């Protein structure tokens, strides 16, 4: 017995030593692992500035970051640089606001009807791509988005500021990871519970009823939360009358033009998409809907990236190399199926959707941007956010307009444009530095060298390398 006890003591001592060593080992998830620049004052010299307002780029500027904020920005010849501070020559580089993207997720399609929760890898990829603020427009986990937002805010983890959306407000459905909310009382309780847990916004989904949506909107607004929706059973016009703040996927999800649409019944996404494909952008029905949205200040989120993956003849999306081999192969099989589908509505709908989004913006509507990493995969955070800007330019916006949609417009919707979304003295230093000139070649947004969030510069390459080949696991 004595011998057994002695071995036990040795074993216990050994375990204590192991745990002590583990406690002292570097934390691979720590924010500090990805920091590139961290100083009280940082000067970016001889840099091109795209300020996010839609104004032309300004050449040979000096931008001073002090204690997390932009202390000064102006012509290099006129801005006084303090002595003894960190100064970086940015010749050939452009600084622009960090992206503010409003249809993002921390989950990804990992199987038929199943979404894997990838909060750690996705948050790094978003930051690496230049996203400094994001909204998770729907969540299929519950608490992960909320906890991750808090841990990033505390400085423990690297990632964007997260507006954490509650689990979907949806009616009877077949999704494995969604609640069913049928009545107004259930909708109010759903919103109240998740608001108390820390959710900061709400997403309604395709099978929600008008009764439940109205109650959810009212409860959310009572708690100063905004509501967006990927709708089907409720039309855009009906949702606007109920007080919704935002509608997702441009006009791709609208069922307003289905002539025999039944109240509170989703006629099917395909049916709605076909009617949108046939709509006349200059016709009275579309113009009346746009006027209602603009008059009621309902924002519209462009998510061209997810629809590009459904459209024949489009290039393979960027960033696939960070996925696990299994997910990468699964997506390429889906991509091949899309290329073989000559009957797809997206053959013409993709371009029509671009036209309608541009018409909405030209009419004075607030167009914001996101990517939606769902469908059959292929929409990879960070990489897709950059691609979204490229697609907005393809849709007819100028490069500086596309950048404004992806930065300042998102901040305006969130009500944070006094602090983020554009570059000006006094604003928070949420910035991305890219090699090249995106005001001339929008593809240069892919060449991110440094991402500043609250004045701390992160290394995109380290962020991406830390998850490469493992996205799909965690």
**8 A C-beta contact, residue 203 and residue 171:** no
The two three-digit tokens of residue 364, written as one number: 């004075």
The pLDDT value recorded for residue 6 is: 43
The pLDDT value recorded for residue 153 is: 97
**8 A C-beta contact, residue 306 and residue 375:** yes
Distance of CA 273 to the CA centre of its chain: 23
The CATH code of domain 33-96+422-465 reads 2.30.40.10
Residue 70: its H or E element: strand 69-75
For 109, phi then psi, to 5°, come to -65, 115
Residues of the chain with pLDDT below 70 are 1-25
* Residues, the chain: 474
The rounded distance, in Å, linking the Cα atoms of 199 and 190 is 11
- The residues near 419 (Cβ < 8 Å, ≥ 6 apart) are 411, 427, 428
As to burial, measured by CB atoms within 10 angstroms (0-12 exposed, 13-18 middle, 19+ buried), residue 192 is middle
The radius of gyration of the chain from alpha carbons, rounded to an integer in Å, stands at 24
The rounded distance, in Å, linking the Cα atoms of 49 and 72 is 12
The rounded distance, in Å, linking the Cα atoms of 271 and 257 is 10
- Residue 215 to residues 134, 170, 190, Cα–Cα distance (Å): 26, 12, 10
pLDDT by residue (tens digit) across 283-297?
Answer: 999 999 999 999 999
The rounded distance, in Å, linking the Cα atoms of 456 and 118 is 24
Q: What is the pTM of this model?
A: 0.94
CA dihedral 331, 127, 402, 164 (to 10 degrees): 90
The pLDDT value recorded for residue 394 is: 98
The CATH code of domain 165-414 reads 3.20.20.140
The rounded distance, in Å, linking the Cα atoms of 119 and 332 is 23
* Percent composition of the chain: helix, strand, coil (DSSP 3-state, to 5): 40, 20, 40
Q: Measuring CA to CA, which residue among 225, 255, 267, 266 is closest to residue 243? A: 225
Where do the domains of the chain lie?
33-96+422-465, 165-414
Q: What is the DSSP string of 341-354?
A: -TT-THHHHHHHHH
Quickly count: other Cβ atoms within 10 Å of residue 259's Cβ: 5
């Amino acid at each position: 017995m004595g011998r057994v006890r002695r071995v036990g003591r040795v074993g216990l001592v050994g375990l204590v030593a192991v745990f002590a060593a583990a406690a002292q080992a570097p934390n691979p998830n720590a924010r500090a692992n990805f920091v590139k620049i961290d100083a009280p004052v940082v000067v970016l010299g001889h840099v091109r500035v795209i300020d996010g307002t839609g104004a032309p780029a300004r050449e040979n500027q000096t931008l001073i970051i002090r204690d997390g904020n932009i202390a000064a920005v102006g012509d290099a010849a006129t801005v006084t640089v303090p002595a003894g501070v960190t100064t970086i020559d940015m010749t050939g580089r452009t600084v622009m606001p960090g992206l503010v993207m409003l249809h993002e997720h921390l989950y990804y399609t990992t199987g038929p009807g199943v979404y894997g929760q990838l909060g750690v890898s996705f948050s790094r990829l978003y930051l690496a791509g230049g996203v400094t603020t994001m909204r998770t427009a729907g969540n299929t986990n519950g608490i992960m988005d909320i906890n991750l937002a808090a841990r990033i805010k505390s400085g423990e983890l690297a990632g964007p500021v997260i507006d954490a959306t509650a689990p979907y407000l949806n009616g009877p459905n077949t999704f494995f990871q969604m609640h069913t909310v049928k009545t107004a009382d259930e909708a109010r309780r759903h919103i109240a519970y998740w608001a108390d847990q820390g959710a900061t916004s709400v997403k309604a989904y395709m099978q929600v009823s008008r009764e439940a949506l109205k109650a959810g909107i009212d409860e959310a607004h009572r708690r100063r939360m905004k509501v967006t929706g990927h709708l089907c059973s409720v039309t855009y016009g009906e949702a606007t009358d109920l007080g919704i703040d935002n509608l997702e996927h441009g006009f791709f999800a609208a069922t307003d033009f289905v002539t025999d649409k039944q109240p509170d019944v989703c006629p099917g996404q395909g049916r709605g998409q076909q009617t949108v494909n046939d709509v006349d952008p200059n016709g009275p029905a579309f113009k009346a809907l746009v006027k209602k949205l603009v008059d009621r200040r309902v924002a519209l989120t462009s998510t061209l990236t997810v629809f590009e993956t459904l459209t024949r003849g489009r290039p393979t999306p960027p960033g696939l190399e960070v996925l696990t081999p299994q997910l990468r192969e699964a997506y390429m099989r889906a991509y091949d199926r899309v290329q073989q589908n000559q009957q797809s509505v997206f053959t013409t709908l993709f371009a029509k959707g671009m036209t309608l989004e541009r018409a909405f913006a030209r009419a004075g509507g607030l167009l914001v941007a996101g990517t939606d990493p769902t469908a059959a995969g292929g929409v990879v955070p960070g990489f897709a956010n950059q691609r979204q800007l490229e697609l907005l330019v393809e849709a007819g916006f100028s490069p500086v307009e596309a950048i404004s949609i992806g930065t300042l417009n998102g901040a305006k919707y969130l009500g944070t444009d006094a602090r983020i979304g554009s570059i000006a003295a006094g604003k928070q230093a949420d910035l991305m530095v890219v090699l090249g000139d995106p005001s001339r070649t929008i593809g240069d947004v892919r060449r991110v060298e440094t991402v500043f969030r609250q004045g701390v510069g992160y290394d995109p390459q380290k962020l991406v390398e830390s998850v490469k080949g493992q996205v799909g696991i965690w």
